Structure 1
Amino acid sequence: MKRLKCLIVLSCLFITLISCKNHETKTNVENQELETTEQKIVAKFSNKGHEFVFNMVQNVGNYKTLAQKKDVIYTYTYRTPDGKEDISTEKYIFKNELSYGAYQKHERTLPELEGLMEQGYDGETYWLKHNNQLVEDDKMLERVAFNRPTNYYWFTMMQKLLDPNLIYKHVGTTIIDKTPYEVVAVTFESDTNHPKDTYQLYINKKTNLVDQFLFTVVDYNKTEPFLMVLEYETVDGILIPTKRKYKASNWNADVTDEPWITVNWTNITFNNGLSKDVFKP
């Protein structure tokens, strides 16, 4: 009788193992099919420039990888050659691109507001506070409506270079200080006649990183480019260009004797469990 029970138990165990194995095999096949499908999707590049940008983004960490970190807090420091400085604590939630900045120092951004200045975007509204009091000035709110998405974009730029409605053009290959680069121009599609910014990326062929790029600021009538030079560090598995400097240039990215404006990001932490209430006025 005991022998019969043991045989029954062993038979059930064997059937269970076979069932699990079949489920595992089926799951693996499904995953392989899914991966194959995804590879087919991402392989549809519009041109060579698009492919170079795609490969660079996979190298630094794509938007899915970034979004999985939920949110970020970091210190933003902006210095101009004349000694003016902005220092803010930046907070973003990646879903819906919520953005907040608390400026402990703002000598170049609304310097007339002495003391703590807070800016925010809650997914619908841009708002401004000065010493914990809401500011309703339209001109100042226009500045907030520029700063919030701009600061967010700069932080997530490498990932957002694969956003929809972007146009890529492979300009060619060049050598700067013995380093070979693929040069790719990126512009934005527009359903209006309003001009859009242009970015010209210099992708290092050895490291597959954007070492520098040219950019315009059309919102402020800056159609001649600035040159931005980058240095990276790895934070929680993502390569982030935390040290940045820029100045006026031309479309050949010639370096002049003009002084640099510097922008540094420090104390970067992801997955802080930020509440959406942080972004409400």
Structure 2
Amino acid sequence: MNKILAVSLISMSLLMSCKDEKKETNVEVKQDVPAQSVTQPQLKFKNKAHELVYEMTQNVGDYKMLLDKKDVVYTLTYQTPDGKEDIITEKYIFNGEWSYGRYTKHERTLPELKGIIEQGYDGNEYWLKQDGKIITDINALKRVAFNRPTNFYWFTMMAKLTDPGLNYEYVKTQKINDINYDVVKITFNSEDGKPKDTYQVYINPETKLVDQFLFTVMDFGKSDPLLMQLEYIDVDGVLIPAKRKYKASNWDAEVTDKPWINVNWTNIRFNNGLDQATFTK
């Protein structure tokens, strides 16, 4: 079953805040995550929009290429207009979508927890540590269950846009800064009756890259789109949208005078031979 993360670009502070309740529990925390693309079956294109997205993934690197890289380690820096900042060492194993984050600075993610915090997902369980001590508070764990798959998905998103269960619609050609973009709408099948997010990607016909995209965050009732703009770097043959910024927009992707939220991925390294023990509680 294909599921899409409620994208908040790495736990968007403008969309959620977590209140630390004292009640502790061992209740399992569940979070929608997109289905993993372990293999890439031969595709039969649904329409022109589907083919354009496929061509993009072949240009930047598909999920099979990420699986061949085994794992990744990088530094994520997230800055909001009010000056708050998170600095995280992110680690993923692509086969199984295992995810780990070590927060040396977390002014917008669980700021009530002092010191170093660690979050993990081992393919089965989400967990949280503060200065090495296990935290079992349900609200804090819900934040982890949002952060871990969200951060993973943002890093792998371009490769995963041909996952099964996605719907593609060619919207229009739109000229922005002298580039006639192919605009494609992407939606996700809902098997639980809950509303799913919508993406509207702007594919540069010359570079075959998504230079920007619009997205909703339906888990938080955010049906008005946010605009994400991207800059890419080449890391071992994979094109990574490592410099990112986003803010509120409309479905014509008009840029307003509202401030940007800035996100940067640096020191990206593939195939580190990560030990699975890093991801377990």
- TM-score, length-scaled by structure 2: 0.85
What are the within-5 Å matches in structure 2 for residues 60-99 of structure 1?
60-99=60-99
| Whole-angstrom distance in 1 between the partners of 2:63 and 2:218 | 25
Partners of 1:126 and 1:145 within 8 A in 2: yes
- Report the Cα offset of residue 40 of structure 1: 9.9
Which structure 1 residue ranges, 4+ long, deviate > 2 Å from structure 2?
A: 39-42
Q: Which residue of 2 aligns with 1:13?
A: none
Q: Which amino acid aligns with 1:62?
A: D
| Whole-angstrom distance in 2 between the partners of 1:108 and 1:222 | 19
Q: Within the alignment, does 1:145 sit opposite 2:131 as a pair? A: no
| Whole-angstrom distance in 1 between the partners of 2:203 and 2:176 | 11
Q: Which residue of 2 aligns with 1:183?
A: 183
Q: Which residue of 2 aligns with 1:53?
A: 53
Secondary structure in 2 aligned to 1:110? Answer: coil
Q: Which residue of 1 aligns with 2:240?
A: 240
Secondary structure in 2 aligned to 1:41? Answer: coil
Q: Which amino acid aligns with 2:199?
A: Y
Aligned-pair identity (%): 64
Q: Which residue of 2 aligns with 1:270?
A: 270
- Report the Cα offset of residue 222 of structure 1: 1.2
Partners of 1:224 and 1:250 within 8 A in 2: yes
Higher relative contact order (CA 8 A, sep 6+): 2
Q: Which amino acid aligns with 1:97?
A: E
Secondary structure in 2 aligned to 1:151? Answer: helix
| Whole-angstrom distance in 2 between the partners of 1:256 and 1:179 | 19
Q: Which residue of 2 aligns with 1:131?
A: 131
Q: Which residue of 2 aligns with 1:108?
A: 108
Partners of 1:180 and 1:206 within 8 A in 2: no
- Report the Cα offset of residue 41 of structure 1: 2.9
* Distance change (3 Å), C-alpha of 1:221 and 1:46: same
Q: Which residue of 2 aligns with 1:171?
A: 171
Q: Which amino acid aligns with 1:149?
A: P
- Report the Cα offset of residue 142 of structure 1: 0.6
Secondary structure in 2 aligned to 1:96? Answer: coil
| Whole-angstrom distance in 2 between the partners of 1:40 and 1:173 | 29
Q: Which amino acid aligns with 1:170?
A: Y
Structure 1 residues 189-198 or 86-95, which shifts more?
A: 189-198
What are the within-5 Å matches in structure 2 for residues 158-237 of structure 1?
158-237=158-237
Q: Within the alignment, does 1:41 sit opposite 2:45 as a pair? A: no
Q: Which amino acid aligns with 1:261?
A: I
| Whole-angstrom distance in 2 between the partners of 1:97 and 1:217 | 21
Q: Which residue of 1 aligns with 2:156?
A: 156
Secondary structure in 2 aligned to 1:228? Answer: strand
Secondary structure in 2 aligned to 1:136? Answer: coil
Structure 2 unaligned blocks of 5 or more: 1-39
Offset from partner CA, 1:107-163 (integer Å, 9 cap, x none)? 000000011010000000000101100100101111110100000000000001011
| Whole-angstrom distance in 2 between the partners of 1:238 and 1:48 | 24
Q: Rg bigger for which structure?
A: 1
Structure 1 unaligned blocks of 5 or more: 1-38
Of Structure 1 and Structure 2, the greater helix share is in 1
| Whole-angstrom distance in 1 between the partners of 2:162 and 2:134 | 36
Q: How many residue pairs end up in the alignment?
A: 243
Offset from partner CA, 1:19-77 (integer Å, 9 cap, x none)? xxxxxxxxxxxxxxxxxxxx9933x1011110000000000011111110000000000
Secondary structure in 1 aligned to 2:42? Answer: helix
- Report the Cα offset of residue 180 of structure 1: 1.0
